[in-house]
Each structure stands twice: as C-alpha cells, then as structure tokens.
Amino acid sequence: MNHEKSPQSFSAKDSNRRSGRLFIISAPSGAGKSTLCKALLKRFGNIIFSISYTTRKPRPGEQDGVEYFFITQAEFEKGIKNGKCAEWAVVHENYYGTSTEYLDKELLSGKDILLEIDVQGARQILEKYPESITIFIMAPSFDELRNRLESRGADDPHVIERRMQNAKQEVAQKDLYRHIIVNDNLSRAEDEFLSLIERYRSSG
C-alpha cells in the first residue's frame, strides 16, 4: 500500500544532484521502523545511518557512537546554543538531535544518509534541506499498534499510554511526508520500502 503524495517525487533538482540524498524515516514506536531501517542498511551497504545525539540513557546492549552518541543535558544544551544542530527535539522527555556538521560533510562527499527521526525533527530538516525524501511508516490501526506495544513486553502500561498518545499526534501529521508505508505485514512493507529507496537511488 503506497500512498504517494507527489508522483513528481523525482524532481529535476534530484536528477542534477551532485551531493548525497537525505532519507528521513519517521514512525510511531511499534510501527516497525527499526526493522525496516535495518533491512535498508543491510540491502544498501553504501547508505549511512546518521547517528543522533541524545540525553536518554543507553538501553542494555546499546553502545556510545553506534546507536546514538549519549551525552548530558548540559552538553546538549550547549550544542543547541552554539548552533550545532541541524534539528533537535524533545521526545519522550529526552533531547534528540542531528549534527549539521556531520550531515553537510557526508552530503558533500556524495553519501546518501538515513535519518531515523521524529516528526518535529523531520519538519526542521525539510526547512533546511527541502529535497529530503520523507517516509512515514505506520501500523494499520491504533488497535494493532497497541497490540504490538503490549506484546513486545518492553514497556509499563503508563509508558504504552504515552507512546499511544505520541503515536496519535504523529499520525495526525503524516501529510508532511512524501510517502506513507502501512506496515500491515512486515515482508510486504519491507519490499515496498526497499523498492521505493531503490527507485530514488537508480534515478541518478
């Protein structure tokens, strides 16, 4: 199921592109974004994952400089003040942000970059990098999303409630995105997602 907003997605600007592309992926938690992004990185070895900065604590198994750069609130706020962030947001009570220097360096060297960020961040990136390719991933329904969050057993009921509220707010802003993928079935959604990226990458 592909709800493409603009069939003219592959713009003239894209075809004259000399630097890398930015792919922005957003989704409520539980929609399957991480699984799809992992599949993307596996399929396209030469797309790089933008490692965000965050003030949230690492989860078991997470390593500094791999999933995120884990920094303190004071460090993060200093980065904001010094204009280091291409975008930043508070998500689930923690700061998250992307470094401008990193993005610009990699884009200039022609690399395609995957940004796995929330809707607030996507909005800011689109202002600065309007040619970014935006993809929103969602579960087929809120009931299904709740089922997924409950069955993965990772969160307390009040955390699930908060994630559901966030999900409703994010889904309400889905029209910001050029493409919407409904993850009703993982292997089907993965095919749709990977062929979408493939189309952009083979378009010059």
| Site for ligand 5GP, rule CB under 6 A | 29, 52, 56, 87, 89, 91-92, 96-98, 116-118, 120-121
- C-beta closer to ligand 5GP: residue 112 or 118: 118
DSSP string over 24-36: EEE--TTSSHHHH
Please say which residue, 9 or 34, places its beta carbon nearer to ligand 5GP. Answer: 34
Task: CB nearer to ligand 5GP: give 112 or 116.
Answer: 116
Q: Least distance to ligand 5GP from the beta carbon of 143, Å?
A: 20
Closest approach, Cβ 118 to ligand 5GP, in A, equals 4
* Minimum CB distance to ligand 5GP, residue 162 (Å): 12
Helix (H, G, I), strand (E, B) or coil at 84: coil
Residue 18 vs 127, nearer CB to ligand 5GP:
127
Q: Measured from the CB atom, is 10 or 49 closer to ligand 5GP?
A: 49
What proportions of the chain, in percent to the nearest 5, are helix, strand and coil?
A: 45, 20, 35
> Least distance to ligand 5GP from the beta carbon of 116, Å?
5
Which residue has the closest beta carbon to ligand 5GP? 121
CA angle at 59 for the pair 58 and 64, rounded to the nearest 5°: 35
**Pairing status of strand 85-91 against strand 94-99:** antiparallel
Residue closest to 183 by CA, chosen among 33, 10, 16? 33
How far apart are CB 13 and ligand 5GP at their closest, in Å? 25
Residue among 177, 66, 160 at smallest CA distance from 126:
177
CB 99 within 8 A of CB 84: yes
